[in-house]
Amino acid sequence: MAYRRIDLLSSHIPGDVGTGDEVLLLVHVRKVVGEVQYRMCRTCAEAVIIGVEIDAFFLGTGLDARALSHLRSRHPGLVWHSTLNLRGTRHLLRRSRVLDGNDMCDHLRVRAVQTHLPD
């Protein structure tokens, strides 16, 4: 029942080209219960998932698969990659046809390296 009452809301502001960094918020009764962080490169038609967080109460409900399916439908034509390597996440990503991050475009790879550099 609670699974159906989840709203999937994008952090994207329409018309803003920005950096390509996005967050899909999973909201249940005005409370954020999860999020999927991702980056897009429209030049290469690729995207990379860099984080998936879901409250413990919703684990095992399929909410994570629903969120990834929503991203695919919201951004058709993109090839999806992921930098995540946790056992549970690997299974989800494999089922969702998300590739590992080894073959992502150079634009996304450079931004991923820049993100992890110390200030």
Domain 2-115 maps to which CATH number in 3.40.630.30, 3.60.130.10, 3.40.50.970, 3.40.50.720? 3.40.630.30
8-state DSSP, 42: T
Residues 68-111 have pLDDT tens digits of: 889 989 989 999 988 777 666 766 777 777 777 778 888 887 76
Alpha carbons 84 and 103: distance in angstroms, whole number:
14
Looking at beta carbons, which pairs linking 53-61 to residues 24 or more positions away fall under 8 Å? Answer: 54/26, 57/2, 57/33, 58/2, 58/3, 58/6, 58/26, 58/28, 58/33, 58/34, 61/2, 61/3
Residues 35-59 have pLDDT tens digits of: 999 988 888 999 988 888 999 988 8
Q: Which residue has the higher pLDDT, 14 or 107?
A: 107
